[in-house]
Each structure stands twice: as structure tokens, then as C-alpha cells.
């Protein structure tokens, strides 16, 4: 069983620690709590560290430009148990409508792994939320709302006079 890891916002993991990586071949429209419905990209990966591994399911929300991560309820596990949990993650992602494909990440050279890994959107910090936008953007939104209200009032008076 996978649960959302709410504190994790991006994967700041060295490329060499990624043991397996699957990526969805296309985007799927999903709705996560706190976000509008939008196209998402899915990833399934295995992060190795010593004799333990962590299986991560990652969804990148295209419109919100942020990632949502799911991990096994019990967290890290021994490397010997990784295959079964990886298969559970695979089923979890596919149950949401994605078709995962092998990236052959493990076959790349160290340099190409680094380039590939750092280019993935799940490795980037999230874009600031709307409420954290600049004061100028908020002012522009306020002014636009005032214009909308003025236009609606004018339209109302116009229609009433007919």
C-alpha cells in the first residue's frame, strides 16, 4: 500500500542512486486534493541506499508545475523485498490509467544518467503557488476583477432599460 509523502516536494537524489526507473508513455488527467484536475505524468522508481531501497511513485502535475509523491506505508525495505513492492507500485500507477514503460536508465553511462535524471520534472523544486505570487500579479488580478464587476453592472443596467 502506497501513501502520499506530503513533505516531499522534489527528488533531490544523486542520479547514481536510482536503480530502476519507469515512466508513463503519456499523460493522464487526474485530480489530487488541493489541485485542479490536470494532465499528469507518472514515474515509478527504486532508490538504492546500502542494503535498503525505497520505492517511489511520482506524479508531475503539468499545470501546477509541481510533483506529488507516494511511498510504501512502511517506508524503506530490504533490497531482497524490493521486487514485490516495485510490482505493487507498478499496479498502483497503472490503476490510475497510466501505461508505464521501462526507460533503460540502468543501462546508461553515469554522465547520461545524470543528464537524464536532472532533466526530469520530478527533480525540480515546485513552482510557487498562486497565493505566493508577486504583489504585481495580485494587483493585476484585483484590477481585472473590478473591471469585470463594472462590466456586469453596466450590462445589467443596459438589459433593465430594454
Q: Indicate the number of domains in the chain.
A: 2
pLDDT surpasses 90 at 23 = yes
Domain that holds residue 79: 2-127
Assess contact for 80 and 63: CB atoms under 8 A: no
CA–CA dist 102, 66 (Å, integer): 23
Assess contact for 6 and 86: CB atoms under 8 A: no
Instruction: Please state, rounded to an integer, the average pLDDT across all residues of the chain.
Output: 85
* 74 and 97 part of one domain: yes
pLDDT surpasses 70 at 9 = yes
Q: In angstroms, what CA-CA distances link 15 with 21, 74, 86, 114?
A: 11, 24, 19, 5
CA–CA dist 52, 35 (Å, integer): 33
Whether this model's pTM surpasses 0.85: no
Q: In angstroms, what CA-CA distances link 121 with 75, 102, 130, 155?
A: 23, 17, 19, 45
* 115 and 136 part of one domain: no
* 81 and 14 part of one domain: yes
pLDDT surpasses 90 at 154 = no
* 135 and 98 part of one domain: no
* 120 and 132 part of one domain: no
Give the CA dihedral 145, 149, 150, 151, nearest 10 degrees: 100
Give the CA count within 13 Å in the CB-facing half-sphere of 95. Answer: 9
CA–CA dist 61, 133 (Å, integer): 18
* 110 and 63 part of one domain: yes
Q: What is the pLDDT of residue 29?
A: 95
Lowest mean pLDDT among 21-25, 36-40, 46-50, 92-96: 46-50
pLDDT level of residue 152 (50, 70, 90 thresholds): low
Longest dimension (CA), the chain: 79
Q: Identify the DSSP state of 85.
A: H
* 140 and 119 part of one domain: no
* 106 and 140 part of one domain: no
* 132 and 122 part of one domain: no
SS3 116: helix
List pLDDT tens digits, range 96-148.
999 999 999 989 999 999 999 999 999 988 876 555 555 656 666 776 666 66
* 74 and 58 part of one domain: yes
Q: What is the pLDDT of residue 74?
A: 86
* 39 and 10 part of one domain: yes
* 94 and 147 part of one domain: no
pLDDT surpasses 80 at 75 = yes
Amino acid at each position: 500500500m502506497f501513501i502520499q509523502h506530503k513533505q516531499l516536494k522534489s527528488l533531490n537524489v544523486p542520479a547514481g542512486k536510482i536503480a530502476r526507473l519507469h515512466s508513463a508513455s503519456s499523460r493522464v488527467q487526474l485530480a489530487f486534493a488541493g489541485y485542479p484536475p490536470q494532465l499528469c505524468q507518472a514515474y515509478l522508481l527504486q532508490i538504492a541506499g546500502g542494503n535498503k531501497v525505497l520505492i517511489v511513485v511520482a506524479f508531475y502535475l503539468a499545470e501546477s508545475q509541481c510533483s506529488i509523491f507516494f511511498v510504501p506505508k512502511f517506508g524503506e525495505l530490504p533490497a531482497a523485498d524490493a521486487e514485490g513492492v516495485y510490482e505493487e507500485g507498478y499496479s498502483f500507477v497503472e490503476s490510475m490509467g497510466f501505461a508505464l514503460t521501462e526507460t533503460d536508465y540502468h543501462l546508461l553511462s553515469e554522465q547520461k544518467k545524470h543528464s537524464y535524471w536532472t532533466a526530469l520534472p520530478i527533480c525540480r523544486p515546485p513552482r510557487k503557488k498562486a497565493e505566493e505570487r508577486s504583489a504585481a500579479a495580485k494587483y493585476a488580478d484585483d484590477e481585472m476583477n473590478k473591471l469585470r464587476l463594472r462590466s456586469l453592472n453596466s450590462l445589467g443596467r443596459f438589459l433593465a432599460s430594454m
